Amino acid sequence: MEVVSTPATERVEIDLGDRSYPILIGEGLIDDPATFDAVPRSSDALIVTNTTVGPLYAQRLEATLAQRHARVHTVTLPDGEAFKHWQTLNLIFDALLERGCDRKTVLYALGGGVVGDMTGFAAACYMRGVPFVQVPTTLLAQVDSSVGGKTGINHPAGKNMIGAFYQPRLVVCDLSTLATLPPRELSAGLAEIIKYGPIADAAFLEWTEAHVDALRALDRPALVQAVRRSCEIKAEVVGQDERESGLRAILNFGHTFGHAIEAGMGYGEWLHGEAVGCGMVMAAHLSQRLGLVEHGFVERLSRVVERAGVPVRAPRLDATDNAGRYLDLMRVDKKAEAGEIRFVLIDGVGRAVVRPAPDAVVREVIDACTAG
């Protein structure tokens, strides 16, 4: 399968046998029909987007896809993490069925991680599986959520609790779409980029520390390097452990504490990337307290997370037993086994391990990290 790309387009491969696919990284990709050469030429295509991204980019993508599909439909979802649930997912199925879309229809997720996760899950379920393409428009989605095939929705009892592993046919990271991204969302994406250094590549953490200001200023060469390296690391991990039977869990560094923050505050209050950024600082504290990583790592990580524009002090989730509330919420985490919470910890910069920790130590960490 040959993808024709402009010389400036970078390409990272996800190697999963017959479910392998490329990630394309470049400028103006959504306007170029050749970008989508890897996608089956079906009669129908459905673009899934939301009320914020649709008005910005849907028309352009529709015009490009009209050269590849006879009928290009668009469904526009309400915007926000708070809408990542069954009722919104059903709007995608309604659109597919109302328009008579068959099992060859290709779904295109045009938006951030929320649109991407829901579109992927809809693609996994519709007629027991139709092809889909990720067109991520947030930095977070370009470096993380669009890659690797985790799809799903939230349940009031826990984040991303309902879902499926289902790989896209193609991921298209058009960096020009980041120009309209609000600064707070850009910062949230930076948190996920920072994540890759501590867990897998000490040199990339140093690079991130040196380029965090350039990234916040949307410096193109820095962005290309950050998105490419993040996707390469994610591709390497997912290629070895697609269904998270082990290694893949390291990609959840910061997510155990982070998911507790998101659920405890109410979905959408803290951005996912903000919760992960703060959660990484908490997990670094825990790693340090357990003697896994050298003294000074917490300060080092806090500094870069803060410079990225992401909060490093954890919110209070309960007035009387704050640590207990965190622990209760973390027990719902998918990594938990028989109610035992398993944390992604840094075992020397550039290496992560997944293991439980004594509740008493976790409580100390939560107390030390909580604001006010």
The reply to whether 84 sits near ligand GLY by the rule CB under 6 A is no
> Quick one: which segment of 11-19, 76-84, 86-94, 142-150 binds ligand GLY (CB under 6 A)?
142-150
Distance CA 147, CA 359 (A): 33
Measured CA to CA, the distance from residue 43 to residue 69 in angstroms comes to: 5
CB 67 within 8 A of CB 33: yes
Report d(CA 239, CA 335) in Å as an integer.
Answer: 20
Number of residues that bind ligand NAD (CB under 6 A): 30
Least distance in Å: CB of 71 to ligand GLY? 32
Which of ligand NAD, ligand GLY, none interacts with 352 (beta carbon under 5 to 8 A by kind)?
Answer: none
Q: Which residue, among 324, 303, 308, 187, has the nearest Cα to 260 in the 3D structure?
A: 324
Q: Give me the phi and psi of 20, to 5 degrees please.
A: -70, 155
Biggest alpha carbon–alpha carbon distance for the chain: 61
Q: What are phi and psi of 222, to 5 degrees?
A: -65, -40
Is residue 50 within the footprint of ligand NAD (CB under 6 A)?
yes
Active site residue 234: yes
DSSP run (H or E) holding 14: strand 10-14
**Residue whose CB is less far from ligand GLY, 222 or 231:** 231
* Binding partner at 252 among ligand GLY, ligand NAD, none, C-beta below 5 to 8 Å by kind: ligand GLY
> Per-residue string for binding with ligand GLY, 214-253, x by CB under 6 A?
----------------------------------x--xx-
- Closer to ligand NAD by Cβ: residue 177 or 287: 177
Nearer to ligand NAD, 143 or 317 (CB): 143
Residue 222, phi-psi category: left (phi > 0), alpha (psi -120 to 50), beta (remainder): alpha
272 is an active site residue:
yes
On whether the CB atoms of residues 4 and 34 are closer than 8 A, the answer is: yes
Query: 252-271 mask for ligand GLY (x: CB under 6 A)?
Result: x-------------------
Q: Name residue 78's amino acid.
A: P
Distance CA 65, CA 50 (A): 18
Interface with ligand NAD by CB under 6 A: which residues? 50, 52-53, 56, 79, 81, 84, 111-115, 117, 137-138, 140-141, 144-145, 148, 150, 160, 177, 180-181, 185, 188, 271-273
Active site positions, annotated:
128, 150, 192, 234, 244, 248, 252, 255, 259, 272
